[in-house]
């Protein structure tokens, strides 16, 4: 079943993408929840016209996303402090929300849902990597350190 996505769907595609999914997934989840619409020939034609009109706006959005990504590459060293116990094990964990807050302090504004930490939540001190998506075409990798809080 071919569908046109009305919004970003994790592990499937971005807004205005034409995707092929199994019939049950499309009929029972995507269409009823408003995530997608059927890709009829007239809908595809309307989508192409819409995308053509949006291309100029899209270039401006990509340029803004690249400027934000440039700020990220200018950050030489990012350290997140956390309380630790035995053998560098953290009390709690460091998540994408903590990383978003640390980046906000450095002047890079990004929503936590666009940050993906390799391996999920961090439970030990050390150096880690995160993938940050500013736009579907602008994705950066950030290396950061989790260090013990001085007690």
**Three-class secondary structure assignment of the chain:** CEEEECCCECCCECCCCEEECCHHHHHHHHCCCCCEEECCHHHHHHHHHHHHHHHHHHHHHHHHHHHHHHHHHHCCCCEEEECECHHHEEEEEECHHHHHHHHHHCCCCCCHHHEEECCCCEEECEEEEEEEEEECCEEEEEEEEEEECCC
Say how many CA atoms lie within 13 Å of 27 toward its Cβ: 4
Q: What is the CATH number of domain 70-148?
A: 3.10.430.100
pLDDT of residue 32: 95
Q: Is the pLDDT of residue 36 over 90?
A: yes
Percentage of residues of the chain with pLDDT beyond 70: 99
pLDDT of residue 40: 94
Please, what is the average pLDDT of the chain?
89
pLDDT (average), residues 50-64: 86
pTM: 0.66
How far apart are the C-alpha atoms of 118 and 144, rounded to whole Å?
A: 12
**Where in the chain are all domains bearing CATH 3.40.5.10?**
2-59
Q: How confident is the model at residue 69 (pLDDT cuts 50, 70, 90)?
A: confident
**Where in the chain are all domains bearing CATH 3.10.430.100?**
70-148
Output 56 or 130, whichever has higher pLDDT. Answer: 130
Q: Is the pLDDT of residue 151 over 80?
A: no
Q: In sequence order, what are the beta bridge partners of 52?
A: none
pLDDT (average), residues 58-75: 86
Residue closest to 51 by CA, chosen among 74, 18, 28: 18
pLDDT of residue 108: 84
Q: How confident is the model at residue 150 (pLDDT cuts 50, 70, 90)?
A: confident
pLDDT of residue 72: 83
Homologous superfamily of the 2-59 domain (CATH): Ribosomal protein L9, N-terminal domain (3.40.5.10)
- Structural tokens at position 42: 């007239």
pLDDT (average), residues 120-148: 89
Q: Is the pLDDT of residue 46 over 90?
A: yes
How far apart are the C-alpha atoms of 144 and 76, rounded to whole Å?
A: 9
Q: Is the pLDDT of residue 52 over 90?
A: no
Q: Is the pLDDT of residue 75 over 90?
A: no
């Amino acid at each position: 079943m071919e569908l046109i996505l009305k919004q970003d769907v994790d592990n499937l595609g971005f807004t205005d993408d034409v995707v092929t999914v199994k019939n049950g997934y499309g009929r029972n989840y995507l269409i009823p929840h408003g995530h997608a619409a059927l890709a009829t020939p007239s809908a595809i034609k309307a989508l192409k016209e819409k995308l053509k009109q949006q291309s100029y706006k899209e270039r401006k959005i990509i340029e803004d996303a690249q400027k934000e990504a440039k700020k990220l590459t200018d950050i030489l060293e990012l350290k997140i402090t956390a309380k630790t116990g035995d053998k560098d094990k953290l009390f709690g964990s460091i998540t994408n929300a903590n990383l978003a807050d640390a980046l906000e302090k450095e002047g890079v504004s990004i929503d936590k849902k666009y940050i993906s930490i390799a391996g999920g939540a961090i439970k030990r001190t050390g150096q880690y990597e995160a993938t940050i998506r500013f736009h579907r075409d602008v994705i950066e990798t950030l290396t950061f350190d989790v260090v013990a809080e001085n007690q």
